[in-house]
């Protein structure tokens, strides 16, 4: 075992203050990060995980899920207080809590608990997975090596009797260095051990009961940090030397001691250290000093607090800073696109405003920044700062600056005119003299322009001034009859000077002809948007851009056409204060709602805000912007100042693929199951096959990008239902579809940051199964049933028709039998009697001619009777009324024929119809006519009636027909039994029985009523 050599005297290391990092507060994290986030991890899908004393949180940039012990839920974290989190190579999370160790598998959404130390259950303080895949658990009872399932492989702990064992069983961390040496840290210090035997190879004694760990730099040096002592040491493995450090400030004075609780090596090799109360330290390896970042109440982009718990770098290269009692902070590990410019120095904060009046870069080496009440000079190499306000003897705020080709710096002030700083350092003051018309037009100088001929022009509140180098005097210009305040200047390719005024709109000045042309604001589209023009710029195409208090205007000088841009066209804000042009002819401008870029060719506008790294939103003020020779742009205003390279800003920002965060099917969260075991997170999704009863779903999603999640837009579509994309903002990250027809679908989701391309497609495949009534087997079954039913119905119908035919045949046979009997009993007998009488007449002739004549008369009378009987029989045989179209017509035909039967004269016949006629069953109709005919004939032939009335009633429930007469009536015996030798009444009753109806015959001396009633179901076609 090797003992480290410890340098006796701590070595000083310098700490300088830094403020160039823009720290942002992590959006939507207040609920779980306001107390203490002790551990941070990111899973393979990109979700962030935070361990706190109140449970485990999963975060997607918008919302979070919390996991904590619950005795009523089986699939849950076993404890509450989270000590450690580690994402292993298989994508599982190892979590140490106050109740043991759990392994969470995001693919299934399930927790499983491992047992590694029996019932003693020591606290696991950290996890580490080495190159072989072994998971090492640093616990309060030694070091455990376990396999991927949590089975113990080895266990090492301190043994007081064995000097080669661990110095302490209270292990803090374990990890490999780049050479593969395995190191552990404990309350006794740092040790390198043999993983197979647990023997100590190198021992570095550093007593630290709280936090101790190390981070290795690119050179192989181990930087050991701890909560106590000086807080920082280095171990040189080549010399086996331990060096302790003490911190000193930039003047070399000792700094108060502070502990270091966490450290991080970023992906570029930078080392970051989180302290307890002293802020964040960044090691500048080249200069061998630390840059410290601390909280500043006056700077909202400073670190949120000085007590740092842990650091973590995500896959987007953001570094997360967990603070005691403060919201999570975030900053880019690499240089941000929007640079944070130095704020007003704390020692020079005579005024509290953040406003920056003007910016000028001097020869790419120094930066002059004008604040309210001071002018700051910053050396861009060393970071050294100087108060130029006092050095130059300034008496007013500087609001405009420019440098000419001779290196002279022109400063425009708010009341003392111009201050000219020559390269030699000589300062010249040029002011307005009311008695001298060749002095500066006014002492408020809003803008300075150096034209192509190196003439210097000044926009003052008293007119336009040009400085004459030869005479050292000014030439002043303003339109006749107005007294404008000029705010901005620009030169076009013809040498014209374009001016923005305080209230007269846009003006063009021709220096040769000394003429002004005004483009006023008339409050209509196609004119200057507002009378106050804050900024003017002439682009390479010759278009004049005017930034007004109420919009951005583009003037084509050739046509005088003006195009207006406002908020509804994409501007972040309508107040535009300064305009620049990049190398790709893009127009950049500051507004009261951030900075924006406009593509002059397409009119597309892209906005940038605080979430993109800006110090604030309001970049209006004195119209402060500047572009350096290296094409670096500076914008300033009420919210401070920022700098950026346009080509870098416009580079497409990468957005991670979208992840589905939750899924609801038919109103139930997926996967469905018992609440005790249902996963809280959405497991890995394959193709889903859903029954038709579950053809409604809602899917939530998020692109796991945490730099600026609110600026990310989304679009989705359901392929199989439509090809159109639905675009939504970050506040509506939900796709919902209802009542989907059966089929295969694919939900596609993409995300895009400001100005970037859409991300890769994330897809959810699902199939809505056909309902049982649309399946092939159901169609087959229904077809068979339909065929069988049709056959059955056909057979039943055939039977019904045959049965009805047999009934009607029986009726006809019975009727014709009756008629045949009647013909036999009456007609044939009559003919036989007639033959006998004629024979008698033959016998009487010629001897007894007188008697023969009498007998012949009797025979003729009997012949007339026989003929009448024959006529009645023939009438019964024919189908009465069959040729008529309906019942009423048939009855009328009957009344026209029947009166000829009467010997007492023709009675009056009436037919009365009540109700709406309906279609009758043909055979029923025939029988009704026969019954009616018989009743009518009896009334006409036997009742000596003067009036016969037939009444037909088409009722809803029944059909009825009545035959009334006013004749002599019928005897009761005749009604009951009929007339001897006649079958009329008996036939009527037989037909009534066959129809299923009722027959009623009422008669007295005043006449006779015959009424037939038939139920509707037996009378009408189609009645139930």
- Residue 391's H or E segment, with its range, is helix 388-391
Distance of CA 85 to the CA centre of its chain: 32
The predicted pLDDT at position 651 comes to 58
Q: Is 90 exceeded by the pLDDT of residue 926?
A: no
Q: Which of 630, 632, 634 is nearest to 619 (CA)?
A: 634
| Residue 231: predicted pLDDT | 85
pLDDT in tens, 311-332: 999 998 999 999 998 999 999 8
Q: How many Cα atoms sit within 13 Å of 633 on the Cβ side?
A: 24
Lowest-pLDDT range, 45-59, 795-809, 969-983?
969-983
Strands of 860-937, DSSP E: 908-914
**Residue 834: which H helix or E strand, with range?**
helix 829-844
pLDDT value at residue 908: 86
pLDDT in tens, 489-505: 999 999 999 999 999 99
Rounded CA gap, 130 and 173, in Å? 13
Residues ≥6 apart with Cβ < 8 Å to 1020: 918, 919, 920, 921, 959
**Cα–Cα nearest to 494, from 442, 452, 554:** 452
Tokens (6 digits) for 755: 């100005």
pLDDT for the residue 842: 74
Q: Return the SS3 of 947.
A: strand
**pLDDT tens-digit profile of 83-117?**
999 999 999 999 999 999 999 999 989 999 998 77
DSSP state of 769: P
- Phi/psi region, residue 711 (left: phi>0; alpha: psi -120 to 50; beta: rest), is alpha
How far from the centroid of its chain's Cα atoms is residue 633's Cα?
A: 37
Residue 879 confidence (pLDDT): 45
Helix (H), strand (E) at residue 875 = helix 849-877
The phi, psi pair for 1018, rounded to 5°, reads -95, -15
Average pLDDT over residues 598-614: 85
pLDDT tens digit string along 977-1002? 666 655 677 778 888 888 889 999 88
Paired with 516 in beta bridges are 509
Query: For 432-458, how does the pLDDT look when each residue is reduced to its tens digit (9 = 90+)?
Result: 999 999 999 999 999 999 999 999 999
Structure tokens that stand for 524 in this block: 């209509």
Share of the chain above pLDDT 70, in %: 91
> Mean per-residue pLDDT for 597-616?
86
Averaged over 264-286, what is the pLDDT?
Answer: 93
Angstrom CA distances, 550 to 576, 586, 853, stand at 7, 21, 139
Per residue in 792-844, pLDDT (tens digit) is 999 998 988 888 777 777 766 766 665 665 565 556 556 656 676 677 777 77
Structure tokens at 237: 């493995």
Segment 639-651 mean pLDDT: 86
Give the residues across from 698 on adjacent strands: 664, 736
Mean pLDDT of 36-50: 94
Say if residue 900's pLDDT is above 90: no
The H or E element containing residue 929 is helix 922-942
Residue 453 · residue 488 · CB < 8 Å: no
Q: What sign has the CA pseudo-torsion 882, 884, 887, 888?
A: negative
CA distance 624 to 557: 25
Buried b / exposed e across 319-349, counting CB within 10 Å, b at 16+?
bbbbbeebbbbbbbbeebbbbbbebbbeeee
pLDDT score, position 672: 77
Averaged pLDDT, 943-964: 90
675, pLDDT greater than 80: no
Do residues 356 and 641 lie in contact, with contact meaning Cβ atoms separated by under 8 Å?
A: yes
The contacts of residue 476 (CB under 8 Å, 6+ apart) are: 437, 438, 440, 441, 462, 463, 464, 465, 466
Mean pLDDT of all residues belonging to the chain: 88
Where residue 641 falls among pLDDT bands split at 50, 70, 90?
A: very high
Distance CA 135, CA 93 (A): 12
Which candidate, 110, 114, 28, places its Cα nearest to that of 74?
Answer: 110
Helix axes 776-822, 922-942, angle to 10 degrees: 20
Burial class (CB in 10 A: 0-12, 13-18, 19+), 806: exposed
- The burial class, CB within 10 Å (0-12 / 13-18 / 19+), for 570 is middle
d(CA 589, CA 587): 7
Sheet of 398-403: strands edge to edge? 398-403, 409-413, 418-421, 427-430
Distance CA 134, CA 130 (A): 6
* Dihedral (CA of 716, 719, 720, 724) sign: positive
Report residue 45's pLDDT band, with 50, 70 and 90 as the boundaries.
Answer: very high
Distance spanning both ends of the chain, measured CA to CA:
109
Greater model confidence, 351 or 702: 702
pLDDT in tens, 870-895: 665 555 554 444 445 578 888 887 77
Residue 158 has pLDDT above 90, yes or no: yes
580-601 burial, b at 16+ Cβ within 10 Å, e below that, comes to bbbeeebbbbbbbbbbbbbebe
Share of the chain above pLDDT 90, in %: 58
pLDDT for res 234: 93
Place of tokens 């953001």: 318
Is the pLDDT at 574 greater than 80, yes or no?
yes
């Amino acid at each position: 075992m090797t003992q480290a050599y410890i340098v006796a005297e701590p070595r000083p290391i310098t700490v300088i203050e830094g403020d160039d990092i823009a720290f942002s507060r992590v959006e939507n994290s207040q609920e779980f990060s306001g107390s203490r986030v002790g551990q941070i991890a990111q899973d393979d899908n990109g979700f962030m995980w935070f361990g706190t004393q109140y449970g485990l949180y999963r975060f997607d940039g918008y919302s979070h899920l919390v996991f904590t012990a619950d005795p009523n839920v089986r699939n849950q974290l076993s404890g509450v207080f989270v000590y450690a989190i580690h994402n292993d190579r298989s994508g599982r999370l190892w979590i140490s809590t106050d109740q043991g160790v759990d392994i969470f598998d995001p693919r299934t959404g399930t927790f499983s608990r491992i047992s590694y130390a029996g019932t003693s259950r020591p606290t696991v303080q950290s996890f580490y997975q080495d190159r072989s895949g072994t998971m090492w658990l640093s616990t309060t009872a030694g070091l455990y090596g376990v396999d991927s399932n949590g089975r113990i492989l080895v266990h090492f702990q301190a043994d007081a009797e064995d000097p080669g064992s661990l110095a302490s069983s209270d292990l803090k961390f374990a990890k490999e260095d780049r050479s593969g040496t395995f190191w552990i840290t404990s309350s006794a210090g740092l040790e390198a051990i043999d993983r197979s035997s647990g023997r100590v190879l190198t021992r570095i004694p550093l007593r630290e009961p709280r936090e101790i760990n190390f981070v290795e730099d690119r050179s192989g040096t181990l930087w050991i940090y701890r909560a106590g002592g000086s807080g920082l040491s280095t171990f040189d493995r080549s010399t086996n030397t331990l060096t302790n450090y003490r911190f000193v400030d930039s003047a070399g004075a000792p700094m108060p001691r502070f502990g270091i609780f966490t450290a991080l090596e970023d992906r570029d090799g930078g080392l970051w250290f989180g302290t307890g109360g002293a802020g964040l330290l960044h090691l500048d390896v080249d200069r061998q000093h630390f840059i410290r970042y601390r909280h500043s109440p006056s700077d909202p982009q400073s670190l949120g607090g000085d007590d740092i718990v842990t650091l973590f770098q995500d896959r987007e290269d953001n570094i997360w800073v967990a603070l005691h009692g403060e919201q999570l902070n975030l900053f880019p590990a690499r240089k941000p696109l929007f640079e944070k410019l130095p704020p007003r120095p704390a020692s020079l904060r005579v005024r509290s405003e953040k406003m920056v009046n003007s910016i000028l870069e001097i020869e790419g080496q120094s930066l002059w920044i004008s604040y309210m009440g001071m002018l700051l000079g910053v050396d861009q190499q060393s970071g050294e700062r100087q108060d130029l306000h006092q050095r130059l003897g300034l008496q007013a705020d500087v609001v405009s600056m420019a440098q000419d080709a001779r290196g002279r710096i022109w400063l425009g002030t708010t009341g003392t005119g111009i201050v000219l700083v020559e390269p030699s350092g000589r300062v010249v003051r040029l002011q307005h003299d009311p008695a001298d018309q060749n002095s500066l037009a006014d002492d408020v100088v809003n803008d300075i322009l150096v034209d192509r001929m190196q003439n210097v022009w000044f926009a003052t509140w008293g007119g336009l001034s040009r400085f004459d180098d030869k005479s050292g005097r000014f030439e002043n210009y303003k339109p006749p009859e107005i007294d404008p305040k000029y705010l901005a200047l620009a030169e076009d390719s013809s040498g014209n000077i374009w001016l923005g005024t305080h209230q007269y709109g846009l003006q063009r000045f021709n220096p040769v002809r000394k003429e002004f042309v005004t483009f006023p604001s008339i409050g209509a589209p196609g004119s200057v948007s507002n009378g106050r023009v804050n900024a003017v710029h002439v682009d390479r195409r010759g278009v004049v851009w005017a930034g007004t208090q109420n919009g951005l205007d583009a003037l084509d000088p050739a046509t005088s056409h003006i195009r207006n841009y406002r908020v509804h066209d994409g501007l972040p804000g309508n107040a535009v204060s300064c305009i620049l042009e990049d190398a790709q002819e893009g127009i950049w401008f500051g507004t009261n709602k951030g900075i924006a870029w406009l593509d002059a060719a397409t009119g597309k506008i892209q906005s940038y805000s605080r979430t993109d790294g800006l110090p604030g939103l309001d970049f209006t003020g004195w119209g402060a912007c500047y572009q350096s020779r290296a094409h670096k742009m500076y914008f300033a205003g009420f919210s401070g100042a920022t700098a950026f390279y346009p080509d870098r800003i416009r580079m497409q920002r990468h957005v991670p693929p979208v992840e589905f965060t939750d899924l609801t099917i038919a109103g139930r969260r997926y996967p469905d199951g018992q609440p005790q075991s249902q996963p809280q997170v959405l497991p890995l999704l394959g193709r889903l096959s859903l029954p038709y009863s579950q053809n409604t779903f809602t899917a939530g999603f998020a692109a796991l990008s945490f730099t600026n999640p609110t600026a990310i837009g989304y679009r989705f579509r359901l392929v199989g239902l439509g090809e159109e994309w639905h675009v939504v903002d970050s506040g509506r990250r939900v796709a919902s579809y209802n009542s989907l027809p059966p089929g295969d679908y694919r939900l596609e989701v993409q995300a895009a940051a400001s100005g970037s391309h859409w991300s890769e497609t994330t897809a959810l495949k699902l199939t809505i199964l056909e309902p049982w009534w649309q399946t092939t087997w159901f169609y087959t079954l229904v077809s068979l049933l339909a065929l069988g039913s049709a056959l059955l119905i056909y057979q039943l119908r055939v039977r019904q028709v045959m049965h009805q035919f047999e009934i009607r045949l029986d009726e006809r046979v019975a009727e014709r039998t009756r008629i045949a009997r009647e013909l036999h009993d009456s007609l044939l007998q009559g003919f036989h009697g007639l033959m006998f009488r004629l024979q008698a007449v033959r016998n009487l002739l010629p001897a007894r001619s007188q008697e023969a004549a009498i007998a012949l008369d009797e025979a003729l009378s009997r012949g007339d009777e026989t003929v009448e009987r024959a006529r009645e029989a023939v009438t019964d045989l024919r189908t009465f009324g069959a040729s008529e179209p309906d019942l009423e017509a048939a009855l009328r035909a009957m009344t026209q024929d029947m009166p000829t039967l009467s010997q007492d004269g023709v009675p009056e016949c009436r037919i009365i119809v009540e109700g709406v006629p309906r279609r009758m069953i043909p055979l029923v109709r025939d029988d009704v006519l026969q019954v009616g005919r018989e009743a009518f004939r009896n009334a006409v032939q036997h009742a000596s009636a003067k009036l016969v009335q037939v009444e037909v009633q088409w009722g809803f429930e029944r059909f009825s027909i009545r035959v009334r007469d006013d004749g002599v009536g019928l005897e009761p015996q005749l009604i009951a039994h009929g007339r001897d030798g006649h079958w009329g009444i008996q036939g009527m009753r037989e037909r009534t029985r066959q129809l299923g109806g009722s027959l009623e015959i009422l008669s007295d001396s005043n006449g006779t009523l015959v009424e037939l009633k038939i139920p509707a179901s037996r009378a009408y076609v189609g009645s139930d």
